[in-house]
Structure 1
Amino acid sequence: MKACPPGKYGQNCTQDCPCLNKEACSRFTGSCYCSAGYYRHACQHECPPGYYGVNCANTCDCNVGQSCDHVMDKCLCPPGYSGPQCQRSCEAGSFGLSCAKLCDCVEKAPCDPSTGRCLCPSGRWGPRCEKACDSDHFGPDCSLLCRCFHGAHCDRVNGRCLCPLTWLSPTCSEALLIQTPDESSFSVSHRMRRTGKRST
C-alpha cells in the first residue's frame, strides 16, 4: 500500500485524518499521532496544568502551584518569581516576569515583586514614594491622621507627638504641673497665659 499524502488515510487515501493542529495520522487506521503537548483522539486538547510531553505523560517539576509549558519541561513562573522551578522570589529592586523589570521607587522603597507597585515606607507616599507626608499625617502612604495638640510636631514616620516644653501626654494635651513649696501646684501653661506670654 502506497503512502498517503498528509491529512489522508485509508485504502486509496480517500479519507481525511480527524486530527487537529495539523497532526499526522496512521495511514491504515486514521489514529492521530499527537505532537508533544497534545492528547485525545484528535489531538484537540493541550496537556492539563502540571503535565507535558508526548501524550502528556510527564509531570512538571515546578514549585507548588506553578505550571509548565505543555510541550517541554519549562516552568511558567508567575510575575515575582524566577528560576528553573520558580523557586526564587524576585530580589529587592526587581519585579515582573522572570524578575526582568527594575523598580522605579525613590528613598530606597521596595516594590511589589509581581506588579512593581512601590511599597512606601512610613512617612512617604506617591506612585514612586516621592512625597513626604503633610504635617498632619503619618504612616504607610501617609494614611494615618496625627493626634497632636497645642502646636506639637507630629513625627511623619510613627505619629509620635513632639510636645512643646509646657505640654505633656502622648497627644500633648496635658499642661505641665509644677509643685510649689507650699504644696500647691499650678500649670505652667496657664500661668503663661495669665502673664500675657503666649503658650507654645
Structure 2
Amino acid sequence: MQLCDCHNGAGCNPSNGICECLVGWSGQRCDTPCPEGYFGTNCTEQCSCENGTQCDPADGECICQPGFRGKSCELRKIYCDDKYF
C-alpha cells in the first residue's frame, strides 16, 4: 500500500495511484495552479476574456475590470449623469 501524495483536494486513482486534479489545478501532484489565460480540468481550456481581464481558473468566468461588462468583458460600462438613465 502506498501513500496518496496529491494536493489541493485531489484524489488518487485507486488502480494506478495517479492524481486526479480538481478543476483549476494541474501537475503530477495537482500542485500547479492554472497559468493565466487557462482554466478547467488540467488547465486545458483557454479563456475568452478581453480588455486585460483574467478568468476564474476553475470555470473560466471572466472577472471584469472596473469599467467593463459582458460575458467576456468586451463592453464598456456607460455611466450616466444623475438626471438620466
- Structure 1: 5+ residue runs without aligned partners? 1-13, 94-107, 110-200
Tell me how far apart the structure 1 counterparts of residues 54 and 61 of structure 2 sit (CA, whole Å): 9
- In structure 2, the residue matched to 1:79 is 66
Call closer, same or farther: CA 1:82–1:69 in 2, change over 3 Å: same
Cα root mean square deviation, aligned: 1.7
Give the paired residue count: 82
Letter in 2 for 1:89: R
**1:140-187 Cα deviation digits (max 9, x unpaired):** xxxxxxxxxxxxxxxxxxxxxxxxxxxxxxxxxxxxxxxxxxxxxxxx
Contact kept in structure 2, 1:18 and 1:30, CA below 8 Å: no
Q: Tell me the distance in 1 between the aligned counterparts of 2:71 and 2:34.
A: 20
Structure 1 moving runs of 4+ over 3 Å: none
TM score, norm. by length of structure 2: 0.83
Equivalent residue, structure 2, for 1:9:
none
One-letter amino acid of the counterpart of residue 83, structure 1: G
- Cα distance per residue 1:47-92 (max 9 Å; x no partner): 1111011111111111142221111121111122111000112211
> Aligned AA for 2:44?
A
> Does structure 1 residue 92 correspond to structure 2 residue 79?
yes
- Specify the SS of the correspondent of 1:55: helix
* Higher relative contact order, chain-length normalized (CA < 8 Å, sep 6+): 2
SS state at 1:18 partner = coil
| One of 31, 39, 47 as aligned partner of 2:26 | 39
Paired residue for 1:56, among 37, 43, 46?
43
Unpaired segments of 5 or more residues in structure 2?
A: none
Match of 2:55 in 1: 68
Identity %: 34
Which one has a larger percent helix, Structure 1 or Structure 2? 1
